[in-house]
Structure 1
Amino acid sequence: MPVTIGAVAAHFGRDLDRALAKVEGIVVDARAAGCDVVVLPDAALGGYLDDLRTPSGPPPALRPDSEELRRVARFAGDTVVCLGYAEAADDGSGRIYNAAVCLTGDGVLGHHRKVHLPAGESRVYAPGDAFRAFDTPVGRLGLLIDYDKTFPEAARAMALDGARVLACLSAWPASVTDRAERLVHDRQARLFDLYDCARAAENQVVWASSNQTGSLGSLRFLGQAKVVGPGGDVLARTSTKGGLAVATVDVDGEVARARRTLHHLDELSRSAYAPGRHP
């Protein structure tokens, strides 16, 4: 069955009310464009950090059962919506996680806490500890959050758990040490695109990559949202500015076609990666 996926490039700041109104508008527009799945950026509710060297503080932290997320579920309706936010731990520890949720009007379908924290984030966020796929109305799906996609094992773990669509939500900035005059020439822009295509092709899955745009504090975000097929081919993409990359994909058919001759997951020699087998 064909699935229409929309990957979003957009700017979100600290104002939660404004962010919620913007998310609702994007979801409504994406649904009008025929999208069954809408993948919004990391930190869509509350914004990302303002600096990676010395962040001034965390975004507003939400509980998983917060009214803000319940509101998103209400206007999501039958649309599968993925978005990121800062999550307050529910154990009284005061920890905050960089988190993503996938939901519809029926409630939460899946959840992820960012595992790999780059410099700066570890001063604000606690790390997650797992990669798990989950079932949705459009098939089995997995969530990652920006720096997670730098590590091949993250996407592979969810592909092995049956995910055929991987949604990677990002607040991926331009290089903070070697700034390019134009974002499209930035070293991080090249890596962002490279990881998107490589992870889709390695795992022979459909990949939806969202990202923030604009600036927050000292950070400039790259945009470049895209949908990538299981052969690593970009099916739709945005520029460095805000936009919606829309692609209709027969997920099961395209994944089966990609795996017909070379099936990377079946042909993986797992015993070679056993503990103690490497120097």
Structure 2
Amino acid sequence: MSLVRIGAAAAHFGRDLEFDLARIAKLIDDARLAGAGLLVLPDAALGGYLAELRHPGADALPPALAPDSPMIRRVASLAADMVVCVGYCEDGGDVRYNAAVCVNGDGVLGRHRKVHLPAGETQVYSPGESFAACDTPIGRVGMLIDYDKTFPEAARSLALDGAEVLACLSAWPTSITNRAPRMARDRQAKLFDLYDQTRAAENQVVLASSNQTGTTGAMRFLGQAKVVGPGGDVLARTWSKAGLAIAEVDVAAEIERARRVLHHLGELRPSSYRGGGR
């Protein structure tokens, strides 16, 4: 992989799919003007996130899209030669999934269904069952959907599958039970940044973290999109505002440099760990 510009978006998305698609088109245009080869959009960018986590009502859920939905094909067409990761609610027939796809003009390059569901999502979504990286024109990419990145095993599974870039798509809100008066001091804001930097550093990979902004129902989203290097250093960020965090990275060279002396994946001792990660 040669030098590439990686973008992570902080933006608001709601139930109006045509509005969402227009916003996605604008973000793709802005990222293209900035020379980005990869753009990571937030979780639930097509259709918006849940309005309430404690008691999500069946009448207020995001629209469920089929895996081959025309909306996803339209995003792929907009992406053209860029690689774009986007989140949506997947129609699985009798169930729904919080899902993401990685696309470009050729179509779908990879898919992910959120494995780790927080309280609230378990009432409306079914969990995915695995983590797998996918090959793209900018390198091998692995996707995580918000709460997935809380679990070290999720990112580690993708790194072991050869992921050079972790695309973390989020609709990550401020604390529901103990909201701080200032977002910068919110417990969830601190955790969001901590997980992004830790997952990049412990796996020695590049990480692009997107997030929603604004409010949906009782949810207030953090923003804080960023690109993180293999040493855990933040290369670009949006803070709490909407916008694009874009960093130019020689991914292969940065990963090789990070692993030159201490190679975390090569120095694992699986026989010393309890089975199943428990």
TM-score normalised per structure 2: 0.97
Q: Distance in 2 between matches of 1:182 and 1:33?
A: 31
Q: Deviations over 1:5-44 (max 9, x none)?
A: 0100000001101000110111011101110000000000
Runs of 4+ in structure 1 over 4 Å off: none
Task: Report SS of the residue matched to 2:210.
Answer: strand
Deviation at 1:75, TM superposition (A): 1.1
Partner of 2:5: 4
Task: Report SS of the residue matched to 1:193.
Answer: helix
Calculate percent identity across the aligned residue pairs.
68
Partner of 1:73: 76
Q: Counterpart amino acid of 1:18?
A: F
Partner of 2:15: 14
Q: Deviations over 1:184-233 (max 9, x none)?
A: 11000000000000000000000000000000000100000000000000
User: Is residue 134 of structure 2 the alignment partner of residue 134 of structure 1?
Assistant: yes
Q: Distance in 1 between matches of 2:15 and 2:276?
A: 46
Deviation at 1:239, TM superposition (A): 1.7
* CA RMSD between the two structures: 1.2
* Structure 1 unpaired stretches of 5+: none
Contact 2:10 2:210 (8 Å CA) reproduced: yes
Task: Report SS of the residue matched to 1:71.
Answer: helix
Contact 2:10 2:41 (8 Å CA) reproduced: yes
* Structure 2 unpaired stretches of 5+: none
Deviation at 1:64, TM superposition (A): 1.1
Note the 1:73-152 alignment, pairs <5 A: 73-89=76-92, 92=93, 94-152=94-152
Deviation at 1:262, TM superposition (A): 0.2
Task: Report SS of the residue matched to 2:247.
Answer: strand
Task: Report SS of the residue matched to 1:149.
Answer: helix
User: Is residue 250 of structure 2 the alignment partner of residue 250 of structure 1?
Assistant: yes
Task: Report SS of the residue matched to 2:249.
Answer: strand
Partner of 2:31: 30
Task: Report SS of the residue matched to 1:61.
Answer: coil
Q: Distance in 1 between matches of 2:57 and 2:242?
A: 26
Task: Report SS of the residue matched to 1:31.
Answer: helix
Deviation at 1:275, TM superposition (A): 2.9
Deviation at 1:277, TM superposition (A): 10
Task: Report SS of the residue matched to 1:163.
Answer: coil
Partner of 2:267: 267
Deviation at 1:83, TM superposition (A): 0.6
Task: Report SS of the residue matched to 1:135.
Answer: strand
User: Is residue 213 of structure 2 the alignment partner of residue 213 of structure 1?
Assistant: yes
Q: Distance in 2 between matches of 1:4 and 1:269?
A: 34
Q: Counterpart amino acid of 1:139?
A: G
